Structure 1
Amino acid sequence: MGPVKGVEHRLGLLCDQLTRHETMAAEIETAGAGTELGELLALIGRGPGSAADPERAAQLLDAIEDACARNSLSPLAVRDHTDSRLPGGFGLRPEGRAWVCPMGACDRVVLPEEANERPRCASGEPLRPYPPL
């Protein structure tokens, strides 16, 4: 089976939200999806392509979003496949450097003007520079 459409983008959005909002993981836990979040973070930590199981990653993302919705939390916005930080045909300025997923599991991009220090993945790993040093 081929890759699950949009899973890398969904992971990128969730990772970004988890690292920007300190209470989000606790809120997901309270909503009843803490186990799913833990499994998802472990899956991400295994490497590229949302590990070897993008279908499972999609199921876990759905479970997290559904649990939050049932508990009147703001939508995670992880099902929108149209948003993109670097649209096709665009790139960084020649002197620019961004940060991307250290495992290649998602499409998260943090631009230089968005961070004062090196950002981290929701798994705890620092994002890697792009283009590579």
Structure 2
Amino acid sequence: MAFNETSGNGFRSGNEFGAGGLNPRHCRGEACVSWDKPFREPIELPDGNTLVSLRDAGAYITQLPQSEHDAEEWQTAMHCLIEAADYGGPVSFARLGIAQALHRHQEKVFDPTRKRSRWRKPGLG
């Protein structure tokens, strides 16, 4: 059965992502969404490369080792990525999920010098 043909249950058979990995456009009802949507700001990777679009992020995640791929943070990032690409969800959520997964091993340290005290008005000593 060819890719464009449907089986008796109404679903397309074959690999919907095609030979290149991720399909650039899916049409769900009236709205078409795309894996080519760019992030507002590129995501900097530890190796110096950047992720510019949802497609780049999807390709990066699929190339992760299985131990990384199975981590809860990467699973969440993949969920947000698929929501943004296939169902029109917020691209910013996908970006945040990937950034959190990339930096999950970094210790979160509070820097009190960056916090401004709101107990006193400025200039009253």
Asked if Structure 1 and Structure 2 have the same fold, meaning a TM-score greater than 0.5 normalized by the shorter chain, the answer is: no
Normalized per residue, the structure richer in strand is 2
RCO higher in 1 or 2 (8 Å CA, sep ≥ 6)?
A: 1
Normalized per residue, the structure richer in helix is 1
Of structures 1 and 2, the larger Rg is shown by: 2
TM-score range, shorter chain: 0.3 to 0.5
